[in-house]
Every structure is written in structure tokens, then in C-alpha cells.
Structure 1
Amino acid sequence: MVSEFLASEFLASQSLGAVVLLPLAAAALCVLAPRAERSVGLVGVLVSAGLSIPIVAAVSSGQTLQLVLGGFDAPLGIHLRADGLSVVFLVLTHAVGVVVSGYAAASATTPRGLWALWLGCLAGLNAVFVSGDLFNTYVGLELVGLTAVALVALGGRSAWRPGLRYLFVAVLGSLLFLIGVGVIVSATGTLDIEQAAGVFAAEEDLAPAAVTALALITVGLCLKLALVPMHAWLVAAHAAAPSAVSPLLSGLVIKAALFVVLRCWLYLTGADLAGSSGATTLVWVLGGLGAAAVIGGSVMALRQTALKPLVAYSTVAQVGYWFLAFPLLLDPDAAEGAFAGIVALALGHGVAKVGLFLAAGYLKDTFGTDEIEALRGAGHHHPLVVMSIGLVGVGLIGLPISLGFTGKWQVATAAVEAGQWWILAVLVAGTLLAAGYLVRVIAPLLMEEFLGHETPPETRNFRAPTGLAVLTLGVLTIVTGFGGVWINELLEVNAPW
């Protein structure tokens, strides 16, 4: 009875609007009542997570949800929609968001103002995932980007320059995205994604406009995603952000841009561009940049001496995996597997990278530094945190019983079907390099301390519940590996083929 109520279309469709508006209201309340921001913020995140449950339940039963705001149909009205792709990213956002919020609520180093900005960011993420039109997708991306920049700036003076660079990149990316949207509107006469897709499918002479729009949108979003060579801003911003912010930036914020890229390529125009030379050239450029990111980002991670920059370069490498598979999306025999692999890699990265950034922040807050050599022997005093790093490492390397392994296997299988053996070579090389830089992190933590190195007494104990939040993400990295079948079934709801 309860499951039927949660899966009811009315409750689920109404939750589409509430999951966007409630975090915004909670953010405003945090500004009006700063003394209660921690309690209000934590409750707001939990309620938002609760509102996502009916959406997940309904879509899991095979429904594609839709809510028409104000009673006005597209193209004039605002449509909110949720399908399988929307739901998997909503689940990631709220699962990770709840754990990080618990860490922030328990941490003594959480800066003031974080909760209002984080709730605004959460509202933007939810808006991106359930928007049915390109304009409100743009509004959601802007909300995510601006709040993310402000969250970076909470790191203090040292974070202002990286935050400003992040702002310039975000604005430029948004400008290119908006120009691409303008091309789509001029060609189709609508902002609604489903309506525009129908126009592109019916009129073959619009293919050049579709490719032009995709190129503009993809470049703009790749700036936000930090795809090589547009990645320099990410390392500085993620490393300089507060301990509770870096996980959100890496695990969730860049996923909004990836979601829109996938939505535009596969649901808006991609299925109709398989024979387009322009689209083919674009996906091969993206595949080449993805390969460069996997190898280059991993090599740079190996060269780092501080933990947070190493984790940030690891994110650059992980972004490369998503685009490495893009040449397969226009191959009818390999597209479905490549799409599922990209999504699995993104979800696995979201959980594991949040756990690794939380562990890095925990150690930095505890020892006052994130220099790897200065953390030598930390595992003797904080074994559960170091064990958590090992668990999330399983996901980032892509070992069995993790979504990272599931995603790499699906991409590898699709590459074999398409005869693209070079993708397999990059996957293997990236996996070995990831093992190398993660061993570089873990090995010093497990070794004996330097002679004469005195660890402050307050660092010798496991600090719950912040340490438990780190451990939770480590466990989730392994547990989510058993959800591959469920994710594939969800992606079949309103699949683009």
C-alpha cells in the first residue's frame, strides 16, 4: 500500500516541482535565520531527498513523469519531466548530498554561509535534472554555477583567485550554451526538448543547424566539465575549496553539465545525426580529448605531493572516461552500451570521488595539512578513514564490485562491438595509472611515522561523526556496484532508441 502511494503518478508529478522549490525556500530561510542555518539546511536536504523518493518509485515502475506548470502547454508553458536518466542523477545527488550534509553539520570547520549556497546549488541541480525545456535547463545550470563559485570563495583569500577564474569559465560556458540554444530555437521554433527533437527528426535539412548547436552547447558545457584542455580552473578551485565543498564540486556540480550533454546529444538530436560528417567529426574530437584527459590527468595526479590537488587531477582523468566513449554513441550497434557505461562511470565517480575528497578534507582538518609526506603514518591513528580511502579507490580504479568496473566493462564491450580497440588500450592504461596514484596516496598513510614526528594528541582518535561520513561513502562505493542491473533498467524508461 505504501509503495503504491509513493509510486502514484499524482504524488510523483507534484514532487517534480517541490524538489526544486523547497531547497530554494530553505536557502532563503538560512539567509533570514543565520543562527539556525545548520538545522534548517540539514532538514532542507533531508526533505528534498524525501521528495525525490516518489519520483524514483514512479519512474522505476516504467512511468515517464510530467508536470505542466500553470496549465500552459509547451512551447509557452514550463514542463517538468523525469525519466530514467533524470532519476539516476537525482538518486546520486541526494544520496551523496545527505552524507556530505551530515559531514558539514558535524564539522567544526564548516564556514558560515555554506548552507544557503549548498541548498541553492541543490535546487539548481534538481532543476537541471527535471527540466523539460532548454531555457529552464539554462537557468538551473546558472544557479548551479553561481552557487558553486560562491562555495569555492568560502575557502578564504587563497580561494578567491581560483573562484574568480571559475566564474569566468562558467560565464563563458553559459554564453556558448545560450548561443547554441538560440540556434535550436531559430531552427525549430521551440525550447521544449521533446518538441525540438520531433522537428529535427522530421526535417533532415536542419542537420547543419543541429550540428552547429551541438558544437556550441558541447564546448560550453565542456568548459564547465573541465575536459582537457579546458581543465586548469578545476584543479585550483577544487583544491582551494573548504573540506565540505570540494566533494560537492567534484561529485555533483560537474554532473549537471554531463547530464545536459547527454540529454542534448541523445534525446534532442543525436539519433538523427548518425550519418552526419559534422557530428562524426565532433564525437571523434571529443573521444580524442577524452583519451588525452585519461592519460594526462592520471600522470599529473601521480606527480602531486598534496592530497587535494591529486584528487582534483584524478577528477580530470575521470571526466576523460565519459568522453572517451562518445565516438561509440553514433554507432547503432554500440550506442546503448556506451551510454549505459558513461552513466555508470559518472555515478560511480560521484560516490567514490566524494568519499575521497571527504577523506582528504578530514585528514587536512585533523593534521592541518594535506601534504602526503606529512600525513605519513596517519593510518595508525585513523585506520577507518584510511580503509575508506581504500574502498573508494576500488571504485576509482574500476575494480570488480564497483560501478567503476561496471561502466568500464560496458564501454569496453561496446568498443569491441564497434571494433574500436584503441578505446580498450586507453581504458587499460588509465586503470593502471589510477592504481598508481591511489597507491601513492595510501602507502605513506600505512607506513611508520618519521622518527621524531610527533602527532598532536587530538589527531589520534577517530572523530565521529565526520569520520563516519567518510566511511559511509567508502561502503557505498562497494554497495552501489550491485545496482548495475537496476540502473540499466531505469535507463530504458524513455530511452533515446
Structure 2
Amino acid sequence: MTAPLNLAPFCLAAVVLIPLLASALSVLLGSRARRVLGVVTSVAVLGLSAPILVHVSSGRMLQLALGGFDPPLGITLRADGLSAVFLAMTTVIGTVLSCYAAARPAATGTHRAALPGVTDPDGTAAAPGPASAATDRGWRPGHAGFWPLWLGCWAGLNAVFLSGDLFNTYVGLELVGLTAVALVALGGREAWPAALRYLFIAVLGSLLFLIGVALIYSVTGTLDIIASGQSIAELAAEDDADLAAVVLAMCLISLGLALKIALVPLHRWLIPAHSAAPSAVSPLLSALVIKAALFVLLRSWLWVAGPLPELTALAWVLAGMGTAAVLLGSVMALRQSRLKPLIAYSTVAQVGYWFLLLPLLLDPSSSALEAQTTLDDGAVLAGALSGTVALALGHGVAKSSLFLCAGHLKDRYGTDEIAQLRGAGRAHPMLVMSMGLSAVGLIGLPLSLGFSGKWLLATSAVAAGDYWILLVLVAGTLFSAAYLLKAVAPLLVMSEDDQTALALPQARTAQHVAEASTTGKAQLAPFVLGLLTVLTGFLGVWLSDILEVGAPW
């Protein structure tokens, strides 16, 4: 009797190749066919990711050597607990955002419209009237390049999460970075300077990472992530002088990834890029793209370098930058008068939390607390990682909902000025409800994944004697409550004598009119994500368990 066919290894390759092939195919299709292909691809990736998650949740790692060739000749895809949870987050958010983009093509960017009566590149005819006749080639909502770029970015994200070696991780990061830059540029002329700055940052970050990978290879003789970590551990045991090259490599890798994550003071590119991007793109950038760099950072520090004492100074520098990010990003968010920049600065603040665990990785225990805690070193490391990952996952779901809401309001009313959106909640209660649910997660209130993450990180900090992390978490929580209240409260309040009435833009294109019937359906996407922000709070224990699969301790 033959054994049942295990589809999980096949799914490892499929979740990378299917969106990549769909990206290439979408270039040849018309506008409506692209949207259909995008939704079908997202559903396919959702279905293919499920067996991977189930297999890893059972406590077993998953590995596939493409073509049957093992490293260093072949490419290995590997899924452990960390890979599975980031893959699951990307799949769920990517599926919801794909459905939103398919329902609202105008949210995918702007393009130069053809002369009246002439067919545009996306296959639609330019509607006659003031919107298209005002200039020779005016700007019209919707862009044909969104689906090829987004599906290519999705393939790159999955490749990063599943790559078993450092070089293919770099290739995935490059694909993610370049497609993300192009997605920002879909915002039109105003977004081009932000996209150009983002391009310089993405290339510089990738170059620094690649140099660091080359140094790791020169010392260890392998690019395999697990084998590299074992080689470095052997060097540390022998007190080999080559550890200086490893320290230099980790400095370069961390700097390159900090640029991509937008860690203070390397954050100046993020605000204009996330603010100027189209409504369907900003959530992708904040929720998913920067998470790829975070994933690689965790891989590098935990699986490749390991707890090297020589990295202590670097860990404290990055943790200090993270603390500054929480405080500075929050203060700058409070000073914003527009919704999208406020949410973008919120991302800068939330990023800071992800770097607070680095000192705990190198000094997970404190002799002063040995009599006061039952946590061993491995439990402290596990708690710090689980807390950080929970904060990142909760941020991804909540921030995608917030950016969708802000983008929808901006598209609807032609502005994201908070003062001019006063009272918009009366006309869009579902959007405001979504923003409120997302705020619960970002603040870290109970029943959210953000609360679980802060609790786990705080517990590990107390066990290790790093009480300063508690102060940062408390300060960040209070600040986030303040700037999110500033964003949401005006949408709910309108005095009876307020004569300012919200109105749609006077100049409306035919595409805007056609989308009026889909507006209510499109609001379901941010609501679903906002609801998931709260519901995922019950996954704290499961998250800690699955991260133990393939853990380096």
C-alpha cells in the first residue's frame, strides 16, 4: 500500500511560483481580466498556504530542495515556525487587499488619460468631459501596472519567508524592494519624488546586506542559514579571530535592514512614500513590505549569528534607536494634521518595539533575579521573540486596515486633512468602526495581538532585569492612544451649529461614478482586517508554541 501523497512540500514552491507566474501573465491581459486573475491568485495562495501552516503547527519543519539538488548546488525552501506565521499574515492580508483592489480599481493608482474617445492602455475608453478634456492628457484613477507589480511583490515576500539560504533571501528582498518602489510611483506625479528616494534607500539597504552576506560566506564557507549559524558557533567556541568579520557583517546587515524597516533616524523616506502611495498600496507597504526586512533581521540575529557576546554593543545601539523611534515617531504623529502622514509616523513608532528584544538575545538572564523567576534562558528568549513577532503581526493587520480607511476617505472627499473630515463617521460608520478596532490593536488593549505581544515582551524583560523596556512599552502605549484618538475622534464629532458639509469632489470621472455602487462592498475589507486585529488576540498561546518549531535555542 503506497503512502499518501504529502502536498505540503509542493506548496512551498507553489506559493512562490504561482504569484510570480500570475504577475507575468497579467501583463498580457486587459483591466478586468487582471482583476479576476489577481483575486484567483490570492485565493490559490491562501489555499496553498494552509497545508504549510498545518504541517508546521504539528511541530515539524518543512523543507524542499528544488529539482532534487541539495545546497550548495540547489535552492532549498524551508518553513519553520517563524516562516509559517509571517507567511500566514502575508497571505491573509494580501488576499483581503487583493479583493479590495479588484473592487475599487481607482485605488490602485493614477495614469495619464488618453484624449477623449481614445482607448487607454488599461483597455478602458477615456470618458469625454471636463476631467479628460481639461488637459491634453489628464490624470485618471486606476493603473494597469498595479497587478503585475503587486503579484511580483507577493512572490518576493513568500520567497523571503521560505528561503533556506542567504543569497536567495537577498534575491527575494530585491524583488520586494523594486516592486514596492514601482507601486509607490503609481500614485502619480506627486509620488515620483518619494518613489525615487525610496529607490535609493532600497538599493543602498540591499547593497549593505549583500556585502554582509559575502562576509558571512567568506568566514563560514556556506550560504545555508542553519549551516552558517553552526559554523559561527564553532568559531565562537574556538575563539577564532574571524569573528571580527562576522561582527562587521552583522553591522552591515543590520544597517541595511534598518534602512528598509525605517528605523529612526533612517526613517525620512517612509513618510512621503507611504503617504503619497495609492490607497491600495499604502497598506501593502506598511503591513507587509517592511515586515520582510524584519523577518530577515530576526533570521540573521537568531539563526545566523546567534548569541555572540561581541555583538552586545550593536544590540544596545539598535535598541536605543528603537526606543528613540517609539518616542519620536509618536510625537511626530501627534503633530500631524493629515490622516495618512499620521498613520505613517505611527508605523515609525511601532517599528521601534521590534528592536527592543536584541539586548535580551545576548543577555537573557540576570543573576539578581535567579531567586525571583522560574524562567530559564530559553524561556526568556522564546518570550522575547514571541512578543516581538506578535507585535509585528498585530501591527500588520491593524495598519493595513487604518491605511485602507484613510485612503478610502481621501479618495472619496479629495483630502485627508483631519479637520476637513470632521463628522465623516456619520456617512461612513463602518470605516470609523474599522479604525476603532485597529486602534485597539495598535494601542495594545486587551483582546488584541498587540496586548499579547507587549505582555510577552514585558514578561521577558522583567525576567532578564531590563526594566527600561517596561518604561518604553508604557510610554509608547500612552502616546499611541493619544495620536490615534486625534485621528479617530474628529470623524465622530460634529457640532449642531457646524455648517461645514462634506461633499464629493465636483469634477468626477466616469470611473468614479461607476465605482459608486461598489463603495459599500469595498468598506468590508478594512472592517474584516479591523475585526481580525481583535480576534487574533486569542492566538497568543498558539503563536508561542508554533515559534518553537525550528527555534535556534
User: 1:269 deviation in Å?
Assistant: 1.4
The one-letter code of the counterpart of 2:498 is L
Measure the CA separation in 2 of the matches of 1:215 and 1:336.
Answer: 24
CA displacement at 1:135 relative to structure 2: 0.7
Counterpart residue number, 1:89: 86
Q: Counterpart of 2:414? A: 368
For the 8 Å contact 2:184–2:278, the answer to whether it is kept is yes
1:247 maps onto 2:283 in alignment: yes
How far is 1:75 from its partner? Answer: 1.7
From 60, 63, 68, give the equivalent of 1:63.
Answer: 60
Alignment check: 8 A CA contact 1:329 1:336 kept: no
1:452 maps to a residue whose letter is Q
* Deviations 1:85-132, CA, capped at 9 Å, x for gaps: 000000000111111111111114133211110000000000000000
- Could you tell me which runs of 5 or more consecutive residues in structure 1 were left unpaired when the two chains were aligned: none
CA contact (8 A) 2:103 2:518 kept: no
Q: Does 1:378 align with 2:424?
A: yes
Offset from partner CA, 1:404-437 (integer Å, 9 cap, x none):
0111111111111111111111111110000000
1:187 paired with 2:219, answer: yes
Count of residue correspondences: 487
Q: What secondary structure is seen at the aligned counterpart in 2 of 1:391? A: helix
Amino acid at match of 2:302: L
Superposed CA deviations along residues 277-322 of structure 1, whole A, max 9, x for unmatched, are: xx00000001100000000000000000000000000000000010
1:289 aligns with 2:318: no
| Paired position in structure 1 for 2:272 | 236
| Secondary structure of residue in 1 paired with 2:306 | helix
Does the aligned pair in 1 maintain the 2:383–2:544 contact within 8 Å? no
Local SS of the residue matching 1:81: strand
Q: TM-score, normalised by structure 1?
A: 0.95
- 1:326, distance to aligned residue in structure 2 (A): 1.7
Q: Does the CA-based 8 Å contact 2:409-2:416 persist in structure 1?
A: yes
Out of 517, 538, 541, the residue aligned to residue 485 of structure 1 is 541
Alignment partner, residue 451 of structure 1: 498
The one-letter code of the counterpart of 1:13 is P
| Cα deviations by residue, 1:325-379 (Å, 9 ceiling, x for unpaired) | 2211212333221111110000000000001101101111111110000000011
Match of 1:475 among 517, 531, 536: 531
9 and 54 in structure 1: CA distance in 2 versus 1, 3 angstrom threshold? farther
The residue aligned with 1:23 is 19
State which drifts further: 287-296 or 323-332: 323-332
Structure 1 residue 37 corresponds to structure 2 residue 34: yes
Counterpart residue number, 2:397: 351
Q: Take 1:454 and 1:424, find their aligned partners in 2: how far apart are those partners?
A: 45
The code of the aligned residue for 1:376 comes to R
Q: State the AA in 1 paired with 2:37.
A: V
Q: Which residue of 1 aligns with 2:111?
A: none
Are 1:465 and 2:521 an aligned pair? Answer: yes
Query: In the aligned structure 2, how far is the partner of 1:22 from the partner of 1:74?
Result: 23
| Cα distance between partner residues in 1 of 2:498 and 2:463 | 55
Runs of 5+ in structure 2 lacking a partner? 109-141, 365-376, 505-512
1:330 and 2:362 are equivalent in the alignment: yes
Question: AA paired with 1:356?
Answer: L
Query: Among 347, 351, 354, which residue is 1:315 paired with?
Result: 347
Deviation at 1:9, TM superposition (A): 7.6
Structure 1 pair 9–478 and aligned structure 2 pair: CA distance change class (3 A): farther
CA-CA distance at 1:34 after TM superposition? 3.0
> Contact 1:382–1:460 (CA<8 Å) still a contact in 2?
no
Q: Deviations over 1:441-473 (max 9, x none)?
A: 111111116732223379999932111111111
Q: What residue number does 1:264 align with?
A: 300
Deviation at 1:30, TM superposition (A): 0.6
Distance in 1 between residues matched to 2:405 and 2:552, nearest whole Å = 38
Shifted more, 279-288 versus 187-196: the winner is: 187-196
Answer yes or no: is 1:398 the counterpart of 2:398.
no
Q: Aligned to 1:228, what secondary structure does the other structure show?
A: coil
Asked whether the equivalents of residues 382 and 462 of structure 1 are also in contact (C-alpha less than 8 Å), the reply is no
Q: CA RMSD in A?
A: 1.7
Cα distance in 2 for residues equivalent to 1:150 and 1:496: 36
Is 1:120 equivalent to 2:156 in the alignment? no
| Alpha carbons of structure 1 residues 108 and 135: separation in structure 2 relative to 1, 3 Å | closer
**Displacement, 1:195?**
1.6
Take 2:419 and 2:234, find their aligned partners in 1: how far apart are those partners?
61
Q: 3-state SS of the aligned residue for 2:269?
A: helix
1:421 corresponds in structure 2 to 467
In the superposition, relative to structure 1, how do residues 14 and 108 fare at CA in structure 2: closer, same or farther (>3 Å)?
closer
Report which stretch shifted further, 444-453 or 410-419: 444-453
Mapped partners of 1:461, 1:77: distance in 2: 51
Aligned match of 2:252: 216
- 1:27-82 Cα offsets, whole Å, 9 max, x none, are 01110113311111111121112111111111111111111112222122111100
**Change over 3 Å in CA distance of 1:483–1:326 after alignment to 2:** same
Identical positions, percent: 63
Question: Deviation at 1:201?
Answer: 1.7
The structure-2 alpha-carbon separation of the partners of 1:57 and 1:331, relative to structure 1 and needing over 3 Å to count, comes to: same
CA–CA distance in structure 2, aligned partners of residues 69 and 100 of structure 1: 30
Q: Describe the superposition over 1:251-278 as per-residue Cα deviations: whole angstroms up to 9, x where unpaired.
A: 000000000000010011123x1x32xx
